[in-house]
Amino acid sequence: MLIDVARNLVKEGHEILYWEASKKYFDAVRKSGEFKNTVFHSTYEAVRGVPSPDIEDTLFPSVGKDFLDELLSCESQVLSMMMSVDYDSMPLLQKKKIFYEYVRYSNGLIDKLKPEAIVFGDIPHIAHQYTLYKVAKLKGIKTIMFRTIPVLGRLIFLTDHTEYKELKNTMDTIKEPVVIDDLSEDMKKYYLLQTNLQKDATPFYMKDKYRNEFKKIPRLLPSFAIIFQHIQKGTFLKTVRGYIKMNFFIKRKIASLDGIEISGFALKRKEARAQKIKEAFRKEYESLVEPIDYKKKYIYVALHKQPEASTSAMGGVFTDQILMVDILSQALPKNWILYVKESIIQWENPRGELGRYSGYYKNMKKRDNIKFIDASTNTFKLIEHAKAIATVTGTVGWEAILRGKPALIFGYIWYSHCDGAFRVVDVPSCKEVFNLIEKGRKPDKQKVLNFLKALDITTVKAFPNLRFKEDAGISIEENIKVVTKSILEMLKS
């Protein structure tokens, strides 16, 4: 899909100077014979800090103290991001060396190519891409990115993921009260679904059909049923040869800090071990679960699945969710409690074993006003009875606002400019919000409708990949046109 977007950008007079993606992606591009002057860089190499073979980087100068001091917060984020590509517990000093290589290469690359803009296919959340983003911001280079709003089947285009200034600027232009019929049909339908407490508004990625794709525990060997089927069909020996070749002699690359290449059999063993680790985390959590009393005054805290962009980079320092819970616990009014609920997909999805550690939940539950609840508890019922919800950047905050409940937001998210969303960063800011809530502060329905109108204007019906196609409800061809047009508009602004 992005190949066609790039083709359209070239037709409009733009030059693609540099392109980073997987090798498989580049093979398709090279076969077309296009983009002859474009420098290609494989993600598998970039994540390790290895330069593109088409770039002579030996003359790129090392950066010094002052430049690195400007990137201290970036370094902290990058070291967190590295956990998603660190499969062998690389030493911290080695990771820092790779980060410095990221910085040197990004700085040298920008100076050499002198791009007018850098386009990212998401909020940068892979270690080397995030470094390039922060170096570009430091050097005054325009950055363009888009992020899916999965609950709406839309994309939002932005230049800085901490501001969403395009959305805020649109909000400022809406002076008259918005009514439901002023919204587009899909936005109106979504609003009515979310505000009707009798209907199931569960996002598609939390439904069983989607989650079951990740639940399957990999088998090291085929089942007896599969073997028997091949014996009956007379394909047993042929299948055995193919199985041995695929699982023992063909290796595949994994995006990792140390460039792992792994056979199918070794990968299945690795996944099986990961599943056991996730199961141990689940048992630790469940050992701490307590019954829910909906009559209590409580804040509903919804944890994020990690590693994921929603906390790193979008959460900033609150990639550490224990810090979030600790701050809330200290700021909480007397006799209020925190009901903390783990995301059930933390124990189901790939790489979930990298986002927790043994003792994580025990470390989080340090005070008596912190209560863990069953991870399968209905989120909408929790919102209904809560005084407010708290999250880093989760969709649950938006769902709460639409249901008339305040949301404490610790990270950077598109709905943070909506009435009822409160950006908090420490104990004093949380206490201030809790004081407002005790006085009856709730989202203003009219202001929420005005925000929805601004969102309607600012976002486009489109999808970043096929996973989100169904929600957007448009064809691939139409999607390519919409994404191209949006990038062109951002380049002109």
Show me where the domains of the chain are located: 2-149+462-492, 187-213+288-454, 218-275
Q: What is the C-alpha separation between 488 and 77, in angstroms, rounded?
A: 30
Cβ atoms of 453 and 175 closer than 8 Å: no
The tokens for 269 are: 């063993």
Who has greater pLDDT, 487 or 203? 487
Cβ atoms of 259 and 250 closer than 8 Å: no
In this structure, what are the phi and psi dihedrals at residue 286, rounded to the nearest 5 degrees?
-65, -25
Q: Which of 83-97, 325-339, 407-421 has the lowest mean pLDDT?
A: 83-97
The residue-averaged pLDDT of 220-229 equals 69
The tokens for 129 are: 């891409």
Who has greater pLDDT, 223 or 342? 342
Report pLDDT digits (tens) over 122-134: 999 999 999 999 9
Instruction: Using the predicted structure, report yes or no on whether residue 150 has a pLDDT greater than 70.
Output: no
CATH class of 187-213+288-454: alpha beta
Instruction: Using the predicted structure, report yes or no on whether residue 246 has a pLDDT greater than 80.
Output: no
Q: Which of 57-61, 213-217, 225-229 has the lowest mean pLDDT?
A: 213-217
- pLDDT value of residue 122: 94
Q: How confident is the model at residue 34 (pLDDT cuts 50, 70, 90)?
A: confident
CA 215, 358, 256: angle at the middle one, nearest 5?
65
Instruction: Using the predicted structure, report yes or no on whether residue 420 has a pLDDT greater than 90.
Output: yes
- pLDDT value of residue 208: 65
Strand partners, 261: 253
Cβ atoms of 289 and 57 closer than 8 Å: no
The pLDDT mean for the chain works out to 90
Who has greater pLDDT, 18 or 465? 18
Non-local (6+) Cβ contacts of 381 within 8 A are 294
Q: How many helices (H) and strands (E) does the chain have?
A: 21, 14
Instruction: Using the predicted structure, report yes or no on whether residue 94 has a pLDDT greater than 60.
Output: yes
Q: Which of 126-140, 170-184, 192-206 has the lowest mean pLDDT?
A: 192-206
The residue-averaged pLDDT of 98-115 equals 97
Instruction: Using the predicted structure, report yes or no on whether residue 310 has a pLDDT greater than 70.
Output: yes
On the 0-12 / 13-18 / 19+ scale of CB atoms within 10 A, 387 is: middle
Q: How confident is the model at residue 28 (pLDDT cuts 50, 70, 90)?
A: confident
Q: What is the C-alpha separation between 212 and 24, in angstroms, rounded?
A: 27
Q: What is the C-alpha separation between 188 and 410, in angstroms, rounded?
A: 28
The tokens for 440 are: 């009856």
The tokens for 213 are: 């794709």
The residue-averaged pLDDT of 67-92 equals 93
The residue-averaged pLDDT of 172-196 equals 91
How many percent of the chain have pLDDT more than 70?
94
User: What's this model's pTM, rounded to 2 decimal places?
Assistant: 0.90
The residue-averaged pLDDT of 135-162 equals 92
Q: What is the C-alpha separation between 180 and 189, in angstroms, rounded?
A: 10
How many percent of the chain have pLDDT more than 90?
70
